Structure 1
Amino acid sequence: MQQGSSHTSRTAAPHRVVVIVDENSNPFELGCATEVFGLRRPELGRDLYDFRLCSPQPRTPMRDGFFTLTAVAGLEAAETADTLIVPNRPDVDAPRRPAVLEAVRRAHARGARLVGFCSGAFTLAEAGVLDGRRATAHWQWADAFRARFPAVRLEPDVLFVDDGDILTAAGSAAALDLGLHIVRRDHGAEVANSVSRRLVFAAHRDGGQRQFVERPVPDVPDESLAPVLAWAQQRLDRPLTVAGLAARAAVSPATLHRRFRAQLGTTPLAWLTAERLTLACRLIELGETRLEVVARRSGLGTAANLRAVMRRGTGLTPLAYRRRFGPAAP
């Protein structure tokens, strides 16, 4: 999880997220944006975002004519966005409206954060803001994307890419992963965990995980990793090794590695590190100031290793993370 510059201040007005909806946009990704950024959060005691929809036309037919969107702001609302989510649609060959592309360029020029869900990467690339940048898109459009936009550094087999001020998600469900990643980046792990609980969705799937993982119907006995994952999550403060996880699952380390790749799209060691990082972040947010205690309770061992893992995973030192997300933050 790469963490860029702060886009949210607890002393300022809520960060404004604006979604551009254009003709034939996908309803699912619009729903994901609304669920993550648009709902009120009384359980948190504050609103995380000021959420707006806008469209270049008064009536916007959604994908395949499922319904028509009306009574939203005009495209001028994009001019006030701190984060602008660009439109996507299944017809990736049809050119985007010039007015939409120009709105994306202006937002980028003034420093707004840009987000593309699924085929939204095509909108960003067509606007010219992705040249030389990292991005992802749905695997089925990877060849078409590369052919049209060779200057973009496409990563076709990941869930999402955080390239600082431009973020892209690969497909429909990955929009939720990226949305929660943005919440975590803006408000910390504890708030993101609260949002994920309300969504009844996994709190953290790392962006580098594979888009498509094999999930065969298991033979008896069930080969689900759920029992060993739950067991490990309750013991993150203890020494845990791949061999130990394999023994708990009653399989060889090689078999455990294959099951992690097939079911989670990652490795056992990468999963353990991500879980420990999330726990460390939550401990800091809840007020623990002693780095040695955070390192020990999260299983990261030493303060030096905690610093290295946090900087690699969040882009922040533990001190900077506490200043931004800890209980003493403004």
Structure 2
Amino acid sequence: MSSSTVADADLPTFADVVAAADRLKGQAIVTPLVESSALNKRLGFRLLVKAEPLQRTGSFKFRGAFNRLVQLDEAARRRGVVAFSSGNHAQGVAAAAEILGMPATIVMPADAPAIKLANTRGYGAEVVTYDRWTEDREAVAARIAAERGATIVKPYDERDIIAGQGTAALEIIAQAAERGIAIDAMAANSSGGGLIAGCALAFAARSPVTKVYCAEPTGFDDHARSLAAGSRVANTPGATSICDALLAATPGRLTFEINRRHLAGGLVASDAEAKRAMAVAFNELKLVVEPGGAIALAAALEGRFPGQPRTVAVIASGGNVDPALFREALAA
């Protein structure tokens, strides 16, 4: 899958990230950048954690969703939107649609965490479930959108989605600068790659000395392998992970083009390491983080960053975890 077919004109720019930040003022929460002195001492480096579980809907996904939906004209708003998601993009689109007064239909896997299904419905969206192993969610969404004349809002491979997600990195850079901190390396989780692509644009413009990495669960490290190969490669079919938010089969077309230009590499952590990171986030930072949201943190805790950076920033990207799984992580 070559990335050579992507034109620069198709890609979002840093200016798009800045414009998204303006649109999100008063809507998205400026989430804190937290740290633990005790944890820093144990690790031997300074670790800054962007607390996106405290974002509206419990994840960074609200940023991109609102940035996309708020730009739709009145006619498109009346016809509504359709999205496909395992849960966090679903909630982000549902919440943004509720704020803007437009109907939303979300195509979600039947085995998505119950909390994500319930929360999506709670924002007033219609939820249509599918079997993630036998059905194509994009085909289901396309059929619904065609029937209703609705706008499809992709989870990661859209300019406005990528730009919106990048606002998290703008905040990290500003928050660190206010405290006189220079960030040597940063990481965010990657599934389709929208979050880390937006972050890469922001860091390339505002903190180009920072090395930026994607973080993925074992078995779903398609970004890391694609970066090494120089072109998009797919995950091996049949792999499983508790990181339900990070199960995209391949990097996005637009996201990979950005990431191959700007990322220093990819980091990988196991499900067991994600659970340990969830426990650390709770015990040391008082944050509830879902497995996929803890992957970048896990990579930092396990010492996966090359070159022993002195100051590392990671995004804890979401906190929508079912209670039973969270208890299991705390007991691990």
TM-score normalised by structure 2 residue count:
0.28
Relative contact order higher in (CA < 8 Å, ≥ 6 apart): 2
TM-score normalised by structure 1 residue count:
0.28
Structure with bigger gyration radius: 1
